[in-house]
Chain A
Amino acid sequence: MSSYQEATARQRIAGMLDPGSFDEFLPPQMRVVSPHLPQLDAPVSFDDGVAVGRGTMDGRWVFIAAQEGGFMGGAVGEVHGAKLAGMLRRAIDENPDAVLLLLETGGVRLHEANAGLIAVSEVMRAVMDVRAAGIPVISLVGGSNGCFGGMGIVARCTNGVVISEESRLAMSGPEVIETAGGVEEFDARDRALVWRVTGGKHRYLIGDAQAIVADDIGAFRAAALQLADAARGRGSELTLEALEAEQRMLTSRIDRFGGCEDPLEIWEALGIEDPHGVPLLETDAFRELADGHREGAAA
């Protein structure tokens, strides 16, 4: 076992790809840094918090990106976003077997908010361009910062999401919601509640993650390959049929669970006999239980 959560972005890439096969685009030695952070007296990073490149993975040729949660929480600024968008464009040029996005991010970097927002939008559109080119895009969410904001949307624009139970996938962070609506709306310090609402197990149960794995780089790797191969088999591009199915799934989700106050009620409604026991289950036992009850399908 090698913890995905505790690994840096580059360690994750090294663990995903065949040894020595990573060819990084615009590596840190090029020192392309944010032009905006210094004027706000914030530190810069020589990779602007993301590594992008290509390599091999069990004989497949893949393009890969990994956000570094240790630098500004993996937030997306102008350079960071441009590296992601450039990698995605290059993938279309070179036609790899898959693109993997190792996402760990709070979303838009506030120090360069307008550039970050437009950049996330460019990444979102580029992801769908890659899919339209017949190349599957898979998101991996396993960092301690989770995947939030606009990048939480981007994750769900990919062909599949692999998540660990320790990680989180959502839009607005609990602190933001607490600040806006008060502690009775969302108590950001109630860790158990935060995990029930945003954590990997809930996302897997409601159908927003297509695989859940233990916090292990090898497990992430195997699941990502499986999702990529499956997406390649059925076709990676958006279709009207798949989006109509997603429309039905999301409509049914509101109909069935819109009145629930807590994910525990949703899990019970899904037919899980002991919802309170769900947070305690090990990943394998959880998956076995969940697979009999979870919502499926993704566009």
Chain B
Amino acid sequence: MNWQTVADALFPQGHRIAERDNFLSGEAQVGGQTVAIIGTTEHTPIGVEIALAQAAAILDTVRAHPGRPIVILVDTVGQRLRRRDEMLGINSYMAHLGKCIELARRRGHRIVGLVYDQALSGGFITSGLMADACYALPDATIRVMGLPAMARITKVPLERLEELAVDNPVFAPGPENYLRMGGVAAIWRDDLAAAMEQALLDAAPEDRRAELGLERGGRKLARPVAAAVRTGADVQAA
């Protein structure tokens, strides 16, 4: 999906977002206040440069605009699969981006993520999944790996995976599955501007994804197991 179309729908009160080498940055007006925008487009793979560019934009916001809310617009096929990126330590660039977002949160910036097109594994974990809450558009693609590739690696026949995927959100792609597991807070279907305004009001620093996954039945053990470890009690099955 075209990022300008999405931005126009999300920010009818106005936005100034620049795109450079598939990196998005700028600001927008939401509910009478200015929010910082960072993101990616064209399903770009996240390599060391674009991870660093996003981190720089976050640090600039923290320095120049204390407390300004941050919206992360996600469209990526995941981490760039190149030897050069690995040689330069791409995991450190990703971690740096994650730490910068965390610093912003600690300093009182509200952070909302939106998967408006694609979100895959490594590119997702240091963008939308680092937000206070991450949302998705209905046609978004969210996954770690497609079922054919998963069939090859796990040696489970594709037909069997497709059959299981109907009822089990745990491995099949799709925003609905991430919604059930608590990784996506909600899927925005109609008034995007109202949804964004509400999301910024609702944003809170506590990580509630395991609770949501339990409430929605997609991750029945994550919350009880973490609670049992924390309290030393038995696992209370859902």
Contacts and interface: CB of A to CB of B under 8 A. Distances in A.
Interface of A: 25-26, 30, 32, 35-36, 39-42, 52, 78-79, 81-83, 85-87, 89-90, 93, 108, 110-122, 124-126, 128, 132, 149-150, 152-157, 169-172, 174, 176-177, 180-181, 185-186, 197-198, 202-203, 206, 208, 237-240, 243-244, 246-247, 250-251, 253-254, 257-258, 260-263, 266, 299
A112 B170 CA distance: 5
B154 A122 contact: no
A152 B91 contact: yes
Given A36-B168, A108-B121, A121-B129, 18 more contacts: A25-B232, A79-B221, A85-B210, A86-B225, A93-B230, A110-B150, A111-B154, A113-B170, A119-B222, A121-B125, A155-B91, A156-B94, A170-B90, A176-B81, A185-B82, A243-B100, A247-B52, A254-B52
Q: From DSSP, what is the main secondary structure of chain A's interface residues?
A: helix
B53 to A, nearest CB: 10
A30 B100 CA distance: 38
B227 interface: yes
B122 A172 contact: yes
Name which of A32, A52, A86, A128 has the most chain B CB atoms within 10 A of its CB: A86
A250 B207 contact: no
Nearest to A91: B230
B181 A156 contact: no
Contacts of A90: 229-231
Q: From DSSP, what is the main secondary structure of chain B's interface residues?
A: helix
Given A32-B235, A39-B164, A110-B154, A153 B129 contact: no
B55 interface: yes
B166 interface: no
Contacts, number: 256
Contact of A171 (B86, B107, B170, B219): B86
Contacts of B183: 114, 117-118, 121
B89 interface: yes
B87 A260 contact: yes
B229 A86 contact: yes
Interface stretch (B1-9, B10-18, B56-64): B56-64
Contacts of B100: 243, 247
A206 B89 contact: yes
Contacts of B164: 39-40
Interface in B200-236: 207, 209-210, 213, 219-223, 225-232, 234-235
Name which of A25, A79, A172 has the most chain B CB atoms within 10 A of its CB: A172
Contacts of B106: 132, 237-238
Given A117-B121, A153-B91, A153-B94, A238 B103 contact: yes
Interface in B71-114: 79, 81-96, 98-100, 102-103, 106-107
23 contacts: A32-B235, A40-B164, A41-B156, A78-B222, A86-B227, A118-B181, A149-B122, A153-B91, A153-B95, A153-B98, A154-B95, A169-B91, A170-B86, A171-B85, A171-B94, A174-B83, A186-B83, A198-B86, A238-B103, A240-B107, A246-B96, A258-B88, A266-B87
Nearest to A89: B230
A116 B144 contact: yes
A82 B227 CA distance: 9
B188 interface: no
